[in-house]
Chains A and B, each alone.
Chain A
Amino acid sequence: MPENPTGPAAPQDRTPQTTGSSAGAATAPTGAQPTDTQPTGADMSSTGAPADAGSQGASILLREITKAYPGQKKPAVGGLTMEIPAGSTVMLVGPSGCGKTTTLKMINRLIEPTDGSIIMGDEDITTMDADKLRRRIGYVIQAGGLFPHMTVAANIGIVPKMLGWDKQRIADRVDELLDLVSLDPGTYRGRYPKELSGGQQQRIGVARALAADPPVLLMDEPFGAVDPITRQRLQDELISIQAELKKTIVCVTHDFDEAVKLGDWIAIFAEGGQLVQYDSPEQILKHPANDFVENFIGSGAGLKQLTLSRVADAEVREALTSPVDAGPAAALEALRTAQAAGTAPAGTEDSIVVLDSRQRPVHWFSARQLERLSAFPDRPDEDLPVVGERASLNDALDTMLVSSTSNAIVTGGRDRFLGVIGVETVMDAITSARSAGAEQAPPSPLGENTGPVEVTSP
Chain B
Amino acid sequence: MWDYLVDRLPQILFAGWQHFSLVVQCLILATALSIVLAALVYRSGAWTSVANSVTAIGLTIPSFALIGLLIAPVGYGVTPAVIVVTFFATLPILRNAVVGLSSVPAATVESARGIGMSRMRTLLTVELPMAWPVILAGIRVSAQMVMGIAAVAAYALGPGLGGLIFSGLSRLGGANSLESVVVGVIGIIILALLLDLILVGIGRLTTPKGIRA
Contacts and interface: CB of A to CB of B under 8 A. Distances in A.
Contacts of B113: 110, 134
A142 B126 CA distance: 18
Interface stretch (A19-27, A45-53, A145-153, A308-316): A145-153
A108 B209 CA distance: 32
Contact of A151 (B116, B117, B210): B210
B115 interface: yes
A194 B115 contact: no
A135 interface: yes
Given A131-B116, A132-B116, A192-B210, A149 B111 contact: no
Contacts of B107: 141-143, 145
B114 interface: yes
B118 interface: yes
B15 to A, nearest CB: 41
Interface in B161-213: 208-211
Contacts of A133: 116
- Chain B's interface: helix, strand, loop or mixed, by majority? helix
A46 B112 CA distance: 39
Contact of B116 (A135, A145, A148, A149): A135
Given A148-B130, A150-B210, A134 B111 contact: no
A135 B115 contact: yes
Contact of B115 (A134, A149, A150): A134
Interface in B93-116: 107-108, 110-116
Given A147-B126, A193-B210, A162 B117 contact: yes
Interface residues of B, number: 19
A141 B111 contact: yes
A323 B18 CA distance: 83
Given A147-B126, A149-B129, A134 B114 contact: yes
A110 B116 contact: no
Interface string A131-171: 11111101101111111111100000011001000000000
Interface string A19-41: 00000000000000000000000
Interface residues of A, number: 30
A141 B114 contact: yes
A208 interface: yes
A112 to B, nearest CB: 12
Given A192-B209, A193-B210, A194-B210, A147 B115 contact: no
A145 B114 contact: yes
A141 B192 CA distance: 45
A128 to B, nearest CB: 12
Interface string B33-44: 000000000000
A237 B63 CA distance: 63
Contact of A209 (B110, B115, B129): B115
Contact of B112 (A132, A143, A147, A192): A147
Given A142-B107, A143-B107, A148 B114 contact: no
Contact of B208 (A131, A132, A150, A218): A150
A181 to B, nearest CB: 16
Contacts of B115: 134-135, 138-139, 158-159, 208-209
10 contacts: A110-B113, A141-B110, A141-B111, A141-B114, A148-B130, A148-B211, A149-B208, A150-B210, A158-B115, A159-B116
Interface of A: 108, 110, 131-136, 138-139, 141-151, 158-159, 162, 192-194, 208-209, 218
Interface of B: 107-108, 110-118, 121, 126, 129-130, 208-211
List 6 A-B pairs, minimum CB-CB distance, nearest first: A145-B111, A192-B210, A135-B116, A134-B116, A149-B208, A139-B114
